[in-house]
Structure 1
Amino acid sequence: MKSSPTRRVLLAGAGIVALALPLAACSGGGGSSDGKVEISYLTQSDDPNTNQAKALIAAFEKANPDISVKLETQPGGTEGDNLMKTKLSTDSMNDVFHYNSGSLMQALNPDQTMVDLSDEDWVKDLTDDFKAVVSTDNGLYGAPWGTSFAGAVLYNKKVYEKLGLEVPTTWDEFIANSEKIKAEGGGVAPILQSFGDTWTSQLFVLGDFANVSKVNPDWAEEYTANDPKAKYVEEPAFAGFAHGAEVFEKGLLNEDFASMTNAQAMNALAEGTGAQYPMLSATISQVQQDNPDLVDDIGVFALPAADAADTAITMWQPNAIYIAKSTEGDKLEAAKKFVAFANSEEGCQVQNEGGSIAGPYVTSACTLPDDVPGLVNDIQAYFDSGATGSALEFLSPIKGPNLENITVAVGSGITPAEEGAAQYDDDVKKQAQQLGLEGW
């Protein structure tokens, strides 16, 4: 999602310059001059990632005095994809590195460039959804770092309580709740939209994908293969466009939806001037900053499907820590210890103290602290019932660049839902052809 606080902000730095990096970043050789085994760890250069990496290294070195870890960083951004590929293909990658899970990880050709970690003890603690986004048919390559977060409907619990509303499990129930808020809410906006930040317009489509997968578990695979049935002009995927159009047509949005920003919408939700907001749970950080006393007034529920049996919450999986295949010997054993430590009780404590928690962990090795935002517990209930699914970007490399512009037009009543879905299918086709995917 462009400009959003999604996993893309955690990408690494710049293209061919990898070839000019000092060889100190490489994984060959043995120990350091003091007899310790030295490995290197690569993460992104923004402050949150760098600070967490420093904390992880400090805790690990304290527990493993015979191993030293050299931290290296590189910029985030789209350029990082090329840098990662270059370093891995030239055997100049750091021993351990932090990167995206899902389709971006798959683009790094993990079977040839990463160490298979399938037999490590911590793997048994992972959720099935996370295993799927760090695996190929030949192995599992990544350990989670950080929590998941949801794309769903954030809602004000006090507004719901005042109007006697229950969390909807079908789309019709969601619309009925919204119409009651419009009629009896005393001016509270039933559904917030914030097209002043265009990326936020995508949630009705992207946040619905777990429901699409419930109806057709093979949809992502068929979509990537250009199956004519797996298109946005066809159900079940069309629902996301239809829903965006419907809430506008029924007058259920805030009056300033065209100009409102994400930060303004989160504050309106917290203060109760808006009741519901299709959004990422990660944006709760805005409320933690601006209205900390109101954080627990916000809950979350899955974007409802037509049938309650198909309603599931769409999850953005955490990034992962990987080991480069060029890492060998004592360095490999040390690297495996480092990855395992990240998913140990001590590593989880580092994550709890330094991370932004907007959803459950995807490993049972980590326990959430008691002071997490209340909406995290709401998401956990979907985990406990098995009603979750990964966002499409983790299952397919195809995401058209113009989705946010299309969903703004559909959600503003400018473009009919059918036309918008057709436009996006065309947008997707162009992107798939650029990627050189078979069948397009």
Structure 2
Amino acid sequence: MKKYFSMFMVVIAFTIVIAGCSNKGASNEASEDGKTTLSLFLTMSNEGEKKAIESLVAKFEEENPDINIDLNLPGGDYEDMLRVKMAANDMPDLFDTHGWSQLRYGEYVADQKEMDWVQYLDPSLNEILKDDSGKVYAFPLNQAKDGITYNANVLEKYGIEVPTTLDEFMTALETVKEKSNGEVTPLWIPGGDKFTIAQIFDELATPLLITDEENSYGKELEDGSFDWSLYTPLAEALVEMQEKGLLNEDVLTAKLQQATELIAQDKIAFTFVAGSLGPDATELNPEVKIGTMPVPAIHEGDTQSWIGGERHTIAIWKDTKHPEEAKKFIEFMAKPENVTIIAEGTSAPDALTNVDAENYFSEYYKKYEAINVQPYFDRVYLPSGMWDVMATTGQELLAGTLTPEQVSKTMGEEYTRLRKQN
């Protein structure tokens, strides 16, 4: 551009660019009022989670009047937005690595190893958030123990024991349908937000393909030799549930935000929706009781698993123009009282050893404390990009445009293609 315009025009163009950047939400310059603005992108999507982080952002800004936090909670669009920003090397000052602190975002994050909070990091997260050189990739707001959420009142009403195997789970769903005369949805899936379908496949892939000694294919998945026909039983199980009327009829259009009201009205027995669903539903109906359980075992003789690792984190963009202000915000978030607020708001365990936060599901985490936490399947065994494939093939399966065998075939083809790109 400089070759063709006068210096005057360059100055004008530069002024326009700067003005445009100031409206993006990312903030590498001080705002007009002299304050520093930090952009913060997080994956939090449930109401309780949003309330918790919004309250802490407001508290931080009150205590630090020279810093603004531009909070962005794009929900299901988060990954697409961050991919665009990575491609442009124009990342938010602070952002959630949501399980991909090293594999996807590693080259974009600043090292936090010198920060005070690191000494209190839960050792179970060391391999996830630290590398062999000691680099610390992100601050964990909490950690994940994902399984299946259930309505304890519904199970008690119909005499259903909390299932421990997939067969028991199917029986429980059938019992709900029969005894409620169809008034209660046995397994509710908000498939209008397709990532929730990927969540189901991702959680159940671990007991199908990893945890049972005689059916463990981690090595094959890592070296690229995995036979994807072994994935088919997951799709078959979901189709069986749909054909038996065990899923909500609006499975392809139902939205995540509907979960709270429906489960509060005792219209849902089981769902893979997690986060703040329990306290959010109890706020609407104090009589409701929401529980959580580990993922059921699939193979005979195997045991249940929690699926987990990092849940929500805050990483610092390595090229932020405001590293000290960014660290100041993380130091604020790492205060025990603020870690507790996040744990309570997200209904997820805290990630620091100097905090012992109680949350809505604490009794269940204690009940199942002997159950091993397995890492998310896609984060360990699949190349970047496969989450979208799981989501899309799952939607097409439930729409009847793909058979279970075609789902596995597509998964295998995309797995091979994406491995070559990564």
Q: Same fold (TM over 0.5)?
A: yes
The percentage of counterpart residues that share the same residue type is 17
Structure 2 letter corresponding to 1:305: A
Structure 2 letter corresponding to 1:361: D
Corresponding residue for residue 97 of structure 2: 100
Q: 295, 318, 328: which one pairs with 2:311?
A: 318
Corresponding residue for residue 158 of structure 1: 153
| Structure 1 gap ranges (5+) | 1-16, 28-32, 62-67
* TM-superposed deviation, 1:149: 4.7
State the Cα deviation string for residues 31-78 of structure 1 (Å, max 9, x = none).
Answer: xx9xxxx9985423998656533424655x6xxxxxx97345375543
Q: 130, 141, 155: which one pairs with 2:136?
A: 141
Report the secondary structure of 1:180's partner residue.
Answer: helix
Separation in 1, partners of 2:37, 2:218: 36
Q: 385, 388, 408: which one pairs with 2:370?
A: 385
Structure 2 letter corresponding to 1:53: V
Structure 1 letter corresponding to 2:267: T
Corresponding residue for residue 298 of structure 1: 290
Residue 348 of structure 2 is aligned to residue 348 of structure 1: no
* TM-superposed deviation, 1:357: 1.6
Corresponding residue for residue 55 of structure 1: 59
Corresponding residue for residue 354 of structure 2: 365
Separation in 2, partners of 1:122, 1:256: 45
Corresponding residue for residue 176 of structure 2: 181
Residue 244 to residue 107, structure 1, CA distance change in 2 (3 Å):
same
Separation in 2, partners of 1:184, 1:93: 50
Contact kept in structure 2, 1:151 and 1:279, CA below 8 Å: no
What pairs up with 1:4-15 in 2 under 5 angstroms?
Answer: none
Report the secondary structure of 1:103's partner residue.
Answer: coil
State the Cα deviation string for residues 385-412 of structure 1 (Å, max 9, x = none).
Answer: 2522232354452425343332134345
Contact kept in structure 1, 2:151 and 2:290, CA below 8 Å: yes
Structure 1 letter corresponding to 2:297: A
Q: 230, 234, 240: which one pairs with 1:240?
A: 234
Residue 110 of structure 2 is aligned to residue 114 of structure 1: yes
Structure 1 letter corresponding to 2:374: G
Contact kept in structure 2, 1:131 and 1:140, CA below 8 Å: no
| Structure 2 gap ranges (5+) | 1-16, 45-49
* TM-superposed deviation, 1:304: 1.0
Contact kept in structure 2, 1:113 and 1:324, CA below 8 Å: yes
Q: 66, 70, 73: which one pairs with 2:70?
A: 73
Separation in 2, partners of 1:201, 1:312: 19
Separation in 2, partners of 1:83, 1:276: 36
Separation in 2, partners of 1:302, 1:402: 25
State the Cα deviation string for residues 57-109 of structure 1 (Å, max 9, x = none).
Answer: 655x6xxxxxx973453755434345457668xxx985xx3331432553344
How many residues are matched? 382
State the Cα deviation string for residues 228-260 of structure 1 (Å, max 9, x = none).
Answer: 22x5432xx544323212322444334454554
Separation in 2, partners of 1:264, 1:79: 24
Structure 2 letter corresponding to 1:390: P
Corresponding residue for residue 13 of structure 1: none
Report the secondary structure of 1:362's partner residue.
Answer: coil
Residue 188 of structure 2 is aligned to residue 192 of structure 1: yes
Q: 200, 203, 209: which one pairs with 1:207?
A: 203
Corresponding residue for residue 268 of structure 2: 274
Contact kept in structure 1, 2:110 and 2:318, CA below 8 Å: yes
Residue 148 to residue 243, structure 1, CA distance change in 2 (3 Å):
farther
Separation in 2, partners of 1:317, 1:242: 30
Report the secondary structure of 2:229's partner residue.
Answer: coil
Separation in 2, partners of 1:109, 1:306: 34
Residue 122 to residue 261, structure 1, CA distance change in 2 (3 Å):
closer
Separation in 2, partners of 1:153, 1:213: 18
* TM-superposed deviation, 1:271: 2.1
Report the secondary structure of 2:211's partner residue.
Answer: helix
Corresponding residue for residue 123 of structure 1: 118
Corresponding residue for residue 395 of structure 2: 408
Residue 26 to residue 240, structure 1, CA distance change in 2 (3 Å):
farther
Separation in 2, partners of 1:379, 1:146: 18
Q: Cα RMSD over matched residues?
A: 4.3
Structure 1 letter corresponding to 2:346: I
Residue 137 to residue 362, structure 1, CA distance change in 2 (3 Å):
same
* TM-superposed deviation, 1:318: 2.7
Residue 44 to residue 251, structure 1, CA distance change in 2 (3 Å):
closer
Separation in 1, partners of 2:252, 2:315: 42
Structure 1 letter corresponding to 2:211: K
Report the secondary structure of 1:408's partner residue.
Answer: helix
* TM-superposed deviation, 1:227: 1.4
Separation in 1, partners of 2:339, 2:387: 35
Contact kept in structure 1, 2:101 and 2:129, CA below 8 Å: no
Report the secondary structure of 2:273's partner residue.
Answer: strand
Contact kept in structure 1, 2:141 and 2:314, CA below 8 Å: no
Report the secondary structure of 2:388's partner residue.
Answer: coil
Corresponding residue for residue 3 of structure 1: none
Structure 2 letter corresponding to 1:410: L
Contact kept in structure 2, 1:156 and 1:272, CA below 8 Å: yes
Contact kept in structure 2, 1:101 and 1:319, CA below 8 Å: yes
* TM-superposed deviation, 1:205: 0.4
Report the secondary structure of 1:207's partner residue.
Answer: helix
